[in-house]
């Protein structure tokens, strides 16, 4: 039976709390429970911005499963690790002095950025300002749809250009001095579009309006791709006027889920997010969660240190090379690439993208549809081999021919 939260198991015995424990068989039961899942390595996953974590990150995570960032007395090292992780990520984003908050992912990091803007707006207007106006690209991630339902904000959406990036001049017309926050995206999950952050920042900085960049997807790609010579605009703290950035180690950073990060240019902004706890332990909380996985912080710390810049540059170079291979294969097979991709999401124009994705799924491949644009969407990641990309395109051609 399908329920709102997924399909309930047809095997009543595994879906009930047994009277007598099943320690002897439960591992097999779990394997059975997960029998329909794909593995990143099996050559069927072409829809995911996440991938299998790096071995070192997996190992560190597994060794620190009990580490709780919500208690800095039991785990004093975690505070240090979190600060050092923020410093490394800040350095990657052009500002080693950035202050960071580890989060469960991009949704929470974006939520915190908007929460800070709402609180700033409230304190500036003495509580009489009404909902905080935030200006977003029409391409903003759906996490913002959740956020505008949770916080007292009035969202206003700016239109996109033909490459699915926000139009800076049209966005600027929507921004006034009392706008609480402007959002730009460095790597949309639907199309990998990178907004022209410097052009957006010119307008926001002139008015003193904070600018949050959602680089959940692009944060680990763009800095290294730029170093490799790909033409991409700066998007982070090296752009004057950018006040906060989301980036997710659990996407192209090779770190296990859940691992996100919000970075703030100005440490004083962290005050806007501070909640005092009611007891000693972790005295101040800046994120949404109380009990938080320290393992994710240690795993991200370890991944960054183990790979270093050159390790990530190699990984990112490999992903871009796969992307270019895929583009060539698609074009050779007669498919129309809809938008010349800036990052690692390839969009294909097709008369019936949903039908093609269903047909691929019947052949074992998971692709997706960027519904807002009516485009078939393929995500390139380091878990894919050349052979697997060829098999995907062959399956697409075969599915399309029928």
List 245's β-bridge partners, or say none.
213, 263
Question: Which H or E run includes 58?
Answer: helix 55-63
Asked if residue 134 lies in contact with residue 154, where contact means CB atoms within 8 angstroms, the answer is yes
Specify the residue for token string 């990143």.
40
Nearer to ligand 0PR by Cβ, of 75 and 92: the residue is 92
39 burial via Cβ count (<10 Å: 0-12, 13-18, 19+): exposed
What are the start-end ranges of the E strands in 47-126?
99-103
Nearer to ligand 0PR by Cβ, of 47 and 68: the residue is 47
Nearer to ligand 0PR by Cβ, of 103 and 179: the residue is 103
Stretch that binds ligand 0PR, among 77-85, 210-218, 273-281, 296-304 (CB under 6 A): 210-218
Strands 181-185 and 153-158: unpaired
By the rule CB under 6 A, 50 interacts with ligand 0PR: yes
Stretch that binds ligand 0PR, among 46-54, 64-72, 92-100, 380-388 (CB under 6 A): 46-54
Rounded to whole angstroms, how far apart are CA atoms 27 and 367?
A: 30
Binding mask 79-118 for ligand 0PR (x = CB under 6 A): --------------------------xxx--x--------
CB of 178 to ligand 0PR, least distance (A): 26
For residues 239-258, which are near ligand 0PR according to CB under 6 A? 248
Rounded to whole angstroms, how far apart are CA atoms 347 and 372?
A: 12
By the rule CB under 6 A, 264 interacts with ligand 0PR: no
CB of 33 to ligand 0PR, least distance (A): 19
CB of 192 to ligand 0PR, least distance (A): 9
Question: Which H or E run includes 135?
Answer: strand 132-137
Given 43, 70, 253, 260, the residue binding ligand 0PR (CB under 6 A): 260
Nearer to ligand 0PR by Cβ, of 86 and 107: the residue is 107
For residues 278-337, which are near ligand 0PR according to CB under 6 A? none
- Which tokens go with 99? 């202050």
Backbone angles phi, psi at 88, to 5 degrees: -65, -45
Nearer to ligand 0PR by Cβ, of 72 and 155: the residue is 155
- What are the CA-CA distances from residue 211 to residues 68, 109, 116, 235 (Å)? 31, 14, 12, 11
- Which tokens go with 316? 């990112």
CB of 378 to ligand 0PR, least distance (A): 12
Rounded to whole angstroms, how far apart are CA atoms 150 and 92?
A: 31
Specify the residue for token string 């703030």.
264
CB of 107 to ligand 0PR, least distance (A): 3
For residues 133-172, which are near ligand 0PR according to CB under 6 A? 141, 143
Size of the chain in residues: 402
Number of residues that bind ligand 0PR (CB under 6 A): 18
For residues 117-136, which are near ligand 0PR according to CB under 6 A? none
For residues 181-200, which are near ligand 0PR according to CB under 6 A? 185, 188-189
Rounded to whole angstroms, how far apart are CA atoms 162 and 127?
A: 40
The alpha helices in 101-156, defined as continuous H runs, are 106-124, 143-150
Residues forming contacts to ligand 0PR in the complex (CB under 6 A) are 47-50, 105-107, 110, 141, 143, 185, 188-189, 214, 216-217, 248, 260
């Amino acid at each position: 039976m399908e329920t709102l939260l997924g399909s309930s198991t047809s095997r009543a015995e595994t879906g009930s709390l047994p009277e007598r424990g099943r320690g002897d068989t439960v591992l097999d039961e779990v394997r059975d429970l997960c029998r329909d899942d794909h593995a990143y390595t099996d050559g069927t996953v072409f829809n995911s911005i996440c991938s299998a974590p790096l071995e070192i990150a997996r190992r560190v995570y597994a060794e620190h499963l009990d580490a709780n960032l919500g208690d800095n007395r039991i785990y004093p090292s975690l505070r240090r690790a979190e600060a050092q992780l923020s410093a490394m990520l800040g350095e990657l984003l052009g500002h080693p002095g950035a202050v960071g908050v580890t989060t469960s992912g991009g949704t929470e990091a974006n939520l915190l950025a908007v929460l800070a803007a709402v609180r700033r707006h409230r304190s500036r207007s003495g509580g009489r300002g009404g909902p905080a106006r935030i200006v977003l690209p029409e391409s903003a991630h759906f996490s913002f749809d959740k956020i505008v339902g949770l916080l007292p904000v009035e969202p206003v959406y700016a239109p996109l250009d033909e490459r699915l990036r926000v139009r800076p001049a049209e966005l600027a017309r929507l921004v006034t001095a009392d706008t609480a926050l402007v959002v730009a995206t460095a790597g949309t999950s639907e199309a990998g579009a990178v907004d022209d952050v410097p052009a957006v920042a010119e307008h926001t900085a002139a008015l003193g309006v904070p600018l949050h960049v959602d680089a959940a997807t692009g944060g680990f790609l763009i800095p290294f791709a730029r170093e490799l010579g790909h033409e991409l605009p700066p998007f982070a703290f090296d752009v004057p006027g950018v006040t906060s950035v989301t980036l997710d180690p659990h996407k192209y950073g090779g770190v296990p889920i859940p691992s996100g990060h919000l970075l703030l240019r100005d440490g004083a902004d962290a005050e806007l997010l501070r909640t005092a706890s009611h007891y000693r332990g972790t005295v101040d909380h800046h994120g949404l969660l109380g009990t938080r996985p320290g393992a994710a912080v240690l795993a991200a710390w370890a991944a960054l240190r183990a790979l270093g810049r050159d390790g990530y540059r190699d990984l990112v170079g490999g992903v871009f090379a796969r992307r270019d291979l895929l583009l060539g294969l698609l074009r050779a097979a007669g498919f129309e690439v809809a938008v010349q991709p800036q990052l690692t999401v390839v969009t294909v124009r097709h008369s019936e993208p949903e039908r093609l994705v269903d047909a691929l799924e019947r052949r074992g491949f998971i692709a997706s549809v960027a519904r807002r644009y009516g485009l078939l969407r393929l995500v390139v990641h380091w878990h894919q081999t050349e052979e697997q990309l060829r098999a995907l395109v062959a399956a697409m051609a075969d599915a399309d021919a029928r």
